[in-house]
Chain A
């Protein structure tokens, strides 16, 4: 049972446009959500996070939106750059636990 789902395995976007990566979750106990970015042959690295008490968090070109009623979050990258080409993982943690549950990842390709 996949508690964190990323239904789009891949996404292709032109440089300068907006990239929108989506993530759905099933566990209502999740209270913290994160996005990680992974380049080939490297480990994932933390990108941005959001607490369940917020519905938006912005960091430069990256914005994460949380819709608790729909159990859905999304990552917006504006403007997209070729260096953003990577696999993006959505992750969630539940209150009073010490572990992150990851999704299956979405491969983003930004072309010139």
Chain B
């Protein structure tokens, strides 16, 4: 059983909708991440948070807005998306310390933009 949960698991939204993806980790970790996985492309890191502070934003369009209210929860707010934003969005967490610091992933939200 994974210590990282994501809701919803599937989401279909129109280009003018506003929706939010939720991620919760039960591992006591201090760092959380959002990734985008498109078909035929490697995973792309979108955002990194450490102790609720954003430390990395990989030039993600402003129609994606992250929020990290505490170290256990991470949101990705979506608005006016494009069809090319359809993808699997994965959340991950890690201790944020140590050399190894492996990331643990949730099951993802499959997003379809129509």
Are A and B physically bound partners? Answer: no
Residues of B whose CB lies within 8 Å of any CB of A are none
Residues of A whose CB lies within 8 Å of any CB of B are none
